[in-house]
Homo-oligomer: A and B are copies of this chain.
């Protein structure tokens, strides 16, 4: 807790006195009903379905509610109605800028449909994932959108109120929305091939994640299409971090591998790769071209700016939430795997290979 020269001050002693102006107690329907001289049912109706109480009563009740400051107890309501209108979005790492725009898409749709979104950071830990899933089991939330390639277990009947975004799971009962990673990786590698590169390294992500497998496959298929032999030694894998990108390049260079381009399975590793290259006095893109994946916000701001495969982040989020709402409204709708397409964004980190390297 860094004992480092921290100080504590207590602000104005007058504070307690000021509290005298108590901002209204916690109220219940009963109290409101009593104050308004109606039954609890009428109060509840005035708030939930205003159109079925007479205008006069409704106004009166609203007045009382405002005057006394009443907020219905959501626990009681949710208990009774068996729905919370709350959904939890699980993300492996809030520090990963990729997710923020996905979240925004989720929230847009949620908001339109009267849902509230809370975020849970799992740090890739199954235990933490499960602990959020338990909140659904305990009826504290209606559903979950998870962005990891795993489905937590929720001991309830029928369809799990879970949708998988960005990643996807093999489990056919779970709806997922993600991009066509094979195709997207293919487009990126096609582009490098088109520029004239023949020795293209690949820095993959954790092999446990299906999307990483797909991206690697896209890379391999593209080489195959171009009849360029894929050298296994040019493929390394990391854990999506900047440091992993650095290590990958270090490893390639120290093994004396020759390459004129690197395709990384995400932008952070691409950023690491660029750093490692310039640390070795290799210039991007003059000596080596670099392509990332995701198009995180910082990709625009590296020097040179990073060419990358942009995922439709907002659409991924929107679609995930739409599917979840659909599922919550009708658990009978069959699960779907929805596949969106990604787009190559060419910036400054790619160029034709130098003649010398051809």
Residues of A within 8 A of B (CB): 1-2, 4-12, 14-16, 18-19, 22-26, 69, 71-76, 78-79, 84, 86, 88, 93-95, 97, 99-101, 103, 107, 116, 118-121, 131-132, 134-135, 137-140, 155-159, 172-173, 242, 271-272, 275, 278, 297-298, 301, 303, 312, 315, 318-319, 334-341, 343
- Count of this chain's copies in the oligomeric assembly: 2
Shortest distance between the CB of A113 and any CB in chain B (Å): 14
Q: Give the residues in chain B near A69, CB-CB below 8 Å.
A: 155
B119 touches A121 (CB 8 A): yes
Select one of B7, B11, B75, B338 contacting A335, CB under 8 A.
Answer: B11
Shortest distance between the CB of A346 and any CB in chain B (Å): 18
B23 touches A340 (CB 8 A): no
With A4-B340, A4-B341, A338-B8 known as contacts, the answer to whether A138 contacts B23 (CB < 8 A) is no
Bound CA–CA A265/B101 (angstroms):
25
Given contacts A71-B134, A95-B97, A95-B101, 17 further A-B contacts (CB under 8 A): A1-B318, A4-B312, A8-B338, A8-B339, A10-B336, A15-B334, A15-B335, A19-B173, A23-B155, A26-B157, A73-B79, A88-B118, A94-B94, A94-B103, A100-B121, A116-B135, A275-B303
Select one of B9, B84, B157, B312 contacting A23, CB under 8 A.
Answer: B157
Q: Give the residues in chain B near A242, CB-CB below 8 Å.
A: 297, 301
Select one of B94, B312, B340 contacting A100, CB under 8 A.
Answer: B94
Q: Give the residues in chain B near A140, CB-CB below 8 Å.
A: 74-75, 78, 84, 86
Q: Give the residues in chain B near A155, CB-CB below 8 Å.
A: 23-24, 69, 71
Closest to A155 in B: B69
Bound CA–CA A125/B157 (angstroms):
38
Bound CA–CA A341/B5 (angstroms):
7
Select one of B24, B94, B334, B340 contacting A10, CB under 8 A.
Answer: B334
Shortest distance between the CB of A214 and any CB in chain B (Å): 15
Shortest distance between the CB of A193 and any CB in chain B (Å): 22
Shortest distance between the CB of A135 and any CB in chain B (Å): 7
Select one of B24, B71, B73, B134 contacting A157, CB under 8 A.
Answer: B24
